[in-house]
Amino acid sequence: MPLGRVAPALFSDGKLYTRSKKRGDHHRVLHRFHQHGADAAILYEAHPHIGSNRLPDIVQAMRETILAHGGEILFQQAVVGLSLSAGCVNGVILKHGGRVGGRAVILATGHSARDVYRMLLGQGITIEAKPFAMGVRVEHPQGLIDRIQYHGEPRGEYLPAAAYNLAQQVDGRGVYSFCMCPGGVIVPASTEADGLVVNGMSFAKRNSPFANAGIVVEIALADIPGDARNNPLVGLDYQQTLERLAFTNGGGGVIAPAQRLTDFVAGRPSSNLPACSYPPGVTASSLSEWIPSTIGRRLQLGFNAFDRRMRGFLTSDALVVGVESRTSSPVRIPRDPQTLQHVAVAGLFPCGEGAGYAGGIVSCAVDGERAAEAVRRHLQNQS
């Protein structure tokens, strides 16, 4: 039985570009989306995109397909434990005392299901800390990105809103753009009451006057305070620390702390802020003072490098908004590379981004298909 979790604050905007071409047939994933209502353009575009406004209907269509093929979906339920016997999983335990049995469990909860990590740790099921990334959202006027990428020419009616993809090594760590949203908006993505997280999305037409992207820094285990060998949640704790700092420096609500990009790089406060797409609003805050130096300094050097590649990128018209902390999971649920089962629990199949084996919609879908095939083989071997 598959378990799933969706962050409550927003739908993804359905960017379907992946670099993980060796893990499986990503074209089959694109066809699945098209079969359930996505535009045919995703089958041939280099960077296919669905749009946040269209995804809910597509997800509903997928749900109807599951139900039509004998699946069952339980809403308003929470899994609080795995049912185990002699080192094997035989179902899941629900919050209100129910139990759902099964000879196999696919654990596909998404990388923000922190309660699931703590549940596994509490049951003595092996999980481990892994490297991840954190940083900020940066937002420019879309027209400025268009002028840079189209070399000063007006975009006109036929060219799409311009995007970018940037990466730079700084002090041995990658600094790179993530989830770039041309013609998009910055949105809240928090899952805890005392933390603030921002993300980006765009509608199918990508017609917002703003462009935003996560600019994040690779976080190695050596960069994190604490002992990753004895505490597999050390990266999660580090994420929470940064999110709580953003919450506090935003004023304690969903207002986001922000700083002009040039001021952030120079390490000076912003006396005022330009317009921002973030719906709840932003407040001036010196992010460069409270973001850990292992992240902040590398971001500053990375932004300088990006400006050398895209002249005009470093501008006072751009905003840095904090924080972008959910780019990938800080936890891995280890599995056997052949059977895809957990290394110590037979019948438990961790998969997708939450298990530490994928990094986006397409790679997660491919990994999910691999897990489903592995479950089929597992059940056949039991027969």
Q: What is the DSSP code string of 294-361?
A: HHHHHHHHHHHHHHHHSTT-S-TT-EEEEEE--SS-SEE--B-TTT-SBSSSBTEEE-STTTTS--SH
Residue 271 has pLDDT above 70, yes or no: yes
Taking the C-alpha atoms of 55, 58, 59 and 64 in order, what is their torsion angle to the nearest 10 degrees? Answer: 160
Average pLDDT of the chain to the nearest whole number: 91
Q: Kindly give the pairing relationship between strand 128-129 and strand 105-107.
A: unpaired
Residue 342 has pLDDT above 50, yes or no: yes
Tens digit of pLDDT for each residue in 180-219? 999 999 999 998 999 999 999 998 889 999 999 999 999 9
17: pLDDT confidence band, cut at 50, 70 and 90?
low
| CA 8 – CA 322 distance, rounded (Å) | 19
Q: What is the pLDDT of residue 229?
A: 87
What is the distance of C-alpha 352 from the center of its chain?
A: 11
Q: What is the pLDDT of residue 42?
A: 86
Q: What is the pLDDT of residue 217?
A: 98
Do residues 292 and 300 touch, judged by C-beta distance below 8 A? no
* CA end-to-end distance (rounded Å), the chain: 18
Do residues 101 and 90 touch, judged by C-beta distance below 8 A? yes
* CB neighbours of residue 296 within 10 Å: 19
Render 207-269 in DSSP notation, one character per residue.
--SEEEEEEEEEE-GGGSSS-TTT-TTHHHHHHHHHHHHHHHHTTSSSPEEEEEHHHHHHT--
23: pLDDT confidence band, cut at 50, 70 and 90?
low
Calculate mean pLDDT across residues 354-381: 91
Question: 109: which residues sit within 8 A by CB, 6+ positions away?
Answer: 3, 4, 5, 116, 352, 354
| CA 146 – CA 160 distance, rounded (Å) | 9
Tens digit of pLDDT for each residue in 98-115? 999 999 999 998 888 899
DSSP H or E stretch at residue 115: helix 114-122
Residue 5 has pLDDT above 50, yes or no: no
| CA 332 – CA 18 distance, rounded (Å) | 20
| CA 91 – CA 352 distance, rounded (Å) | 20
Backbone angles phi, psi at 239, to 5 degrees: -55, -50
Residue 224 has pLDDT above 60, yes or no: yes
Residue 306 has pLDDT above 60, yes or no: yes
Calculate mean pLDDT across residues 152-172: 91
* CB neighbours of residue 186 within 10 Å: 29
Helices (H) and strands (E) in the chain, counts: 9, 17
Residue 8 has pLDDT above 80, yes or no: no
Nearest to 265 by CA among 213, 210, 319: 319
Q: pTM to 2 decimals?
A: 0.89
| CA 251 – CA 196 distance, rounded (Å) | 10
Do residues 201 and 157 touch, judged by C-beta distance below 8 A? no
Q: What is the pLDDT of residue 44?
A: 87
* CB neighbours of residue 175 within 10 Å: 25
Calculate mean pLDDT across residues 353-369: 89
Structure tokens at 175: 């600094």
Do residues 310 and 318 touch, judged by C-beta distance below 8 A? no
Residue 116 has pLDDT above 90, yes or no: yes
Structure tokens at 48: 């296919």
| CA 346 – CA 368 distance, rounded (Å) | 18
DSSP H or E stretch at residue 144: helix 142-149
| CA 334 – CA 341 distance, rounded (Å) | 8
Do residues 89 and 347 touch, judged by C-beta distance below 8 A? yes
Domains and CATH numbers, the chain: 2-127+333-382 (3.50.50.60), 129-324 (no CATH)
Render 58-96 in DSSP notation, one character per residue.
HHHHHHHHHHHTT-----S--EEEEEEETTEEEEEEETT
Report cis status (omega within 30 of 0) of the bond before 89.
Answer: no
Q: What is the pLDDT of residue 20?
A: 53
